[in-house]
Structure 1
Amino acid sequence: MVACSFNMMFTYVYAGWEGTTNDSRVLLDAIRKDDNFPMPPPGKYYVVDSGYPNMPGFLAPYRGERYHLRPFRGRGNHPRGAMELFNYRHSSLRNVIERCFGLLKARFPILKSMPPYLLGKQLDATPVEDIEGTESQSNTTIENQQEGDEAGISEAPQINFSQAYMAKMENIRDDIAGQMWLSYNNNV
């Protein structure tokens, strides 16, 4: 699991889960076990894919609505509602992560076909030393070396998982989608 800034810098990497596992299990493990997990400050959110829960600090797309950019291309394929517009813009933002991985694989071609070595050997085979201005802090965590809070993250790995707070995040997402839709219709 990784976190990436909009200037295409890896700000956090969490390794250690071999094989295929549920994305939300990896996220929750990182939040609970890694004191360096960079939680977003109040009012800021990580854009996460549909494999993650829509929970405090993490905005997932609406399920059951068009999402990927390709279906929105072409004449007459514009978003038809607030949820579709939110998903369209969410997908546009998430493409930063896809581009980051593309650049990383171009720089280190071994990542395209990593042999089936144990995780520890894989981490040793792909050292992260000064990739686009970042420095390795450990084998599994990469910190953005910017001054102050320019990365937009803070260290407070506490999440309220109560049903009321989870519903609050749904309302926050609905409010964001509603504001986007209103602005979109005023500018069309």
Structure 2
Amino acid sequence: MINYSINSKQLYRIVAEKFNISKSTAWVYVKKVCDVLTKLSGKYIFWPSGKRPKACIKQFKRRQGFPGVLGVIDGTHIPITPPIKDQTSYCNRHHYHSMILQAVCTADYSFTDVFAGYPGSVHDARVFYNSPLGRKIDTAPLQLFPNVNNHILGDSAYKCTSYVLTPFRDDGHLSRQQKNFNYKLSATRVFIEQCFGLLKGRFRILKHVNVYNTKLISKIIVACCVLHNICISQNDYLVVEVGSDDSHGQLCVDQDCKSGNLKRNYIADKM
């Protein structure tokens, strides 16, 4: 049994001793495995299509009755050893160095989209805007969503649009319908927090990735997400404590687009 409180350099020594290879050889194989898993990521991490969207919507609606949900999105901080030349960029608002993992998951805790690599100081909204998913939702949303009644749910760090619904800003004057909407959205969106908890609980290297090469760090993160989906597909779940300290705070709540507001108000009234 490996003691996960030790750092990753010690882990390589333990792995090397267990398999009777050198630490450098163990490191080479770790990189090779990460390369392979990253290249295979599209086989195991993919957006719902065919009959899957209906199943996803049904699973989410069963939670709190929130309609039309294909997934829930959030970003989480992966603690890292920062590169020597650019440490400041990787220092997040919690005052430790990290890399951001943005992910969308379903109600069965499978990732349907992952994007890793941005430094911890970057806001969730900016990461989303520059991610392949964000660009596709902006330019060709109907390639992802069967119709305009479908969407993903995010927290207040994201901009509210027709396809990314966020909570109403609580200015102390929310209506009963708006409060109910926020409650049901939060209760539905908790799946992504639980998904991150499962991921970090299973792959303890994500507690602190002690690697100086940032490109390799992002590959390690994506590789762990691929392995996570493989485990979920085999009904291999963990029981872990879930934290919620990854929010970047409110940035986009005053930038809601008109169509997003209209859709949000309509759903709030119906709920």
Q: TM-score, normalised by structure 2?
A: 0.45
Tell me, which stretches of 5 or more residues in structure 1 are unaligned?
67-78, 135-143, 145-164, 181-188
Runs of 4+ in structure 1 off by over 4 angstroms are none
2:165–2:264: 8 Å Cα contact kept in structure 1? yes
Residues 173 and 124 from structure 1, CA distance in 2 versus in 1: closer, same or farther, beyond 3 angstroms?
A: closer
Aligned pair count reads 139
Q: Give CA deviations for 1:130-176 in whole Å, capped at 9, x if unaligned.
A: 43338xxxxxxxxx9xxxxxxxxxxxxxxxxxxxx921220110110
* 2:111 is the counterpart of 1:10: yes
* 2:135 is the counterpart of 1:32: yes
Return the letter of the residue paired with 1:107: R
Identity %: 30
Higher-Rg member (1/2): 2
Q: Give 1:48's aligned residue.
A: 154
Q: Output aligned runs, 1:24-173, within 5 Å.
A: 24-30=125-131, 31-32=134-135, 39-41=144-146, 42-64=148-170, 81-115=176-210, 117-126=212-221, 127-128=223-224, 129-133=226-230, 166-173=257-264
Q: TM-score, normalised by structure 1?
A: 0.63
SS at match of 1:131: helix
Rounded to whole Å, the distance in 2 between the matches of 1:124 and 1:167 is 38
- Greater helix proportion: 2
Rounded to whole Å, the distance in 2 between the matches of 1:173 and 1:130 is 35
Residues 124 and 24 from structure 1, CA distance in 2 versus in 1: closer, same or farther, beyond 3 angstroms?
A: closer
Of 123-132 and 51-60, more deviation after overlay is shown by 123-132
Q: Give 1:70's aligned residue.
A: none
Residues 28 and 119 from structure 1, CA distance in 2 versus in 1: closer, same or farther, beyond 3 angstroms?
A: same
2:162–2:263: 8 Å Cα contact kept in structure 1? no
Rounded to whole Å, the distance in 2 between the matches of 1:105 and 1:14 is 16
SS at match of 1:46: strand
Rounded to whole Å, the distance in 1 between the matches of 2:201 and 2:125 is 28
Rounded to whole Å, the distance in 2 between the matches of 1:108 and 1:62 is 35
Structure with higher RCO (Cα < 8 A, 6+ apart) = 1
SS at match of 1:98: helix
Q: Give CA deviations for 1:37-82 in whole Å, capped at 9, x if unaligned.
A: 973332111101100000120000011168xxxxxxxxxxxx9711
